[in-house]
Chain A
Amino acid sequence: MTTSLKIVVLAKQVPDTRNVGKNAMKEDGTVNRAALPAIFNPEDLNALEQALRLKDRYPGTTVHLLTMGPGRAADVIREGLFRGADGGVLLTDRKFAGADTLATSYALAQALRKLQPHIVIAGRQAIDGDTAQVGPQVAEKLGWPQVTYAEEITSYDGKEMVIKRRLERGVETVSATLPLVVTVHASAPDCRPRHAKQLLKYKYAKTLTEIQEAGADYDADLKNADYLRIPEWGVADVGGEETQFGLSGSPTKVKKIENIVFQAKESKKLTAADGDIDGLIKELMANHTIG
């Protein structure tokens, strides 16, 4: 029985919302979102590491990244290549824009039907939304089982995969047959760093759009190096019902957005009196610092 696997890792480029601190604050006390750097979603890196470990263990295994986003999200694919992946696809199309988790999952599932992996590995959740919905929704769209919050993929015998899950108050070990969607928890091992050889090999990897921007010479240079071409897929490439993508495929709508104001520039002196504590809690709840 063969144990070589075709793996797709779902990865997202996100603004680094965790390390906001005082530097990214605007005068009015709200967060300057544009000032936050775009990073590889942390738990997607944990997912990539799990995929690369399977590749290390089971010869013939390939790892591809799938990401949806604007052109610059190709950075996520390059980063994955530098760390040991074999390729990737950027899903990019204006028709994907405005997607909530359901429409995102639909687009990813359509692309996955085309890529036909044995297993899909994703981060548990992305730090810009923290919903943890896309993994399970992709699994449902594909009609595959899901194993969420994975901490370690312990074994695979060509049929069954054994996975350790990290739950709120414990751990659970499960076995499942492929095909399968696995989402990986932050407590899983960190991703390995970039590999010098991979970095050299993929330094010039570009998407079609980036190649066009770079000019005809660049295109010619890639003649014998097709592995440097990162495919870009749009709605037409992945097929499916147009109305299921993007805004029109999103049942949830954003009615209102409130910026949190992190106020209190100077220290307020309070006592342990009931009124002081109650006032503080009410203030923190009103500005959504807590609750």
Chain B
Amino acid sequence: MNNILVYCEIENGRVADVSLELLTKGRGLAAQLGCKVEALAVGSKLSDVEKELMRYGAHIVHVADDERLDPFRTLPHAAIITGVIKTEQPQIVLFGATSVGRDLAPRVSSALKSGLTADCTSLEIGNHTDAKGNSYTNLLYQIRPAFGGNIIATIINPDHRPQMATVREGVMKKEPLPAPVQGDVKKVEVKKYLQDADFAVRIIERHIEDRKIDIKGASIVVAGGYGVGSKENFKQLFDLAAVLGAEVGASRAAVDAGFADNARQVGQTGVTVRPKLYIACGISGQIQHTAGMDQSAIVISINTDANAPINQLADYAIVGDMNEVIPKMMKSYRENSR
């Protein structure tokens, strides 16, 4: 049977959230297609990894365990995935759209000469009839924004298998099964797939540090002002931003109060942004601030004061306390995203 295969990313010995989200989504797609979900874990010291993957619905867990496979390097991981796909012949392969997945998946797709769609925001099963009248059933609709988020494209792979897609973290829901699947573990014969040349890139040093701030390049900005109240409370904005794939901006009053980094300041003496969505939380909307954001395509304001000047400019003016509104927005987003 041509199943759905999820490449499971391992971070510090744990399965990445995005992989569990993909397994959850994969379950739904598999039910529609009448097939099963398989997981592929590539790394080192992976004993017990199958327990968690089966809790998320993997019927077969392929484990490629070798000390040379951790930390992640493109070539050995690509060689193993390509090999497993050739043997197992899945109809769909899913990767997280992370630094790892976006580096790896294109390499695999090229090796298999099959198509890949990046950063999908929705995956569906559907049919297709092409211009010549050929019809296809049960294709994977790979739905993604393109053109800087100004269009939404539905991409299909009619004639090539597997159909491959990457999905960003937080887009799909993560839901364990009430009881784990009683699945099988298949050990991948790592040595069969690896050559010396796959280790051409050596890791000299690796460390995790804060990301550089880039609010200019963000297509969604969640900005906070003095009304956010504290640095601790700004964390809510970071949470909302993580869910939406946004960056966090701030007013000068918020920066001056030490709630946010200088690099996040929007306005006359800060950065000018033109995102497709700007969410202003606890920002009054003084001209020096709006000068840096009034070209945004859509503005939402969240402010306790119905007469705050920002509401003049907002497409949606929510009159309310951000402490109440932001958690509700996140909850609603999670519930409504597929």
Contacts and interface: CB of A to CB of B under 8 A. Distances in A.
Interface of A: 15, 17-23, 25, 30-31, 33, 100-102, 105, 127-137, 139-141, 145-149, 162, 166-177, 186-187, 250-260, 262, 264-272, 274, 276-278, 280-282, 284-285, 288-291
Contacts of A177: 200
B119 A255 contact: no
B311 A21 contact: no
A176 B118 CA distance: 27
A218 to B, nearest CB: 36
Contacts of A256: 153-154
Contacts of A262: 276, 297-298
B274 A288 contact: no
B30 interface: no
Question: B-side binding surface: helix, strand, loop or mixed?
Answer: mixed
Interface in B140-162: 141-142, 145-160
Contact of B110 (A33, A102, A258, A280): A102
Given A21-B274, A290-B333, A255 B128 contact: yes
B119 to A, nearest CB: 7
29 contacts: A17-B148, A20-B274, A23-B295, A31-B151, A33-B147, A33-B150, A100-B115, A128-B148, A130-B118, A134-B106, A137-B109, A146-B103, A147-B201, A170-B206, A173-B206, A174-B201, A174-B202, A175-B201, A175-B204, A251-B159, A252-B117, A253-B156, A254-B154, A255-B156, A277-B329, A281-B333, A284-B277, A288-B145, A291-B244
Interface of B: 74-75, 78, 98-99, 102-107, 109-111, 113-119, 121-122, 128, 130, 141-142, 145-160, 171, 200-209, 211-212, 214, 217, 219-220, 244, 274, 276-277, 295-298, 300, 306, 311-321, 324-325, 328-329, 332-333, 336-337
B147 A285 contact: no
A130 B119 contact: yes
Contacts of B117: 252
Given A31-B147, A141-B110, A281-B332, 17 more contacts: A17-B147, A18-B274, A31-B151, A102-B109, A130-B146, A140-B111, A149-B103, A166-B212, A169-B208, A251-B114, A251-B115, A253-B155, A255-B156, A257-B152, A267-B317, A288-B149, A289-B277
A133 B276 contact: no
A112 B149 CA distance: 31
Contact of A291 (B78, B313, B314, B337): B337
A176 B200 contact: yes
Contact of A254 (B98, B155, B208, B328): B155
A25 B211 CA distance: 32
Given A140-B111, A145-B201, A270-B319, A20 B297 contact: yes
Contacts of B200: 145, 176-177
A19 B306 CA distance: 30
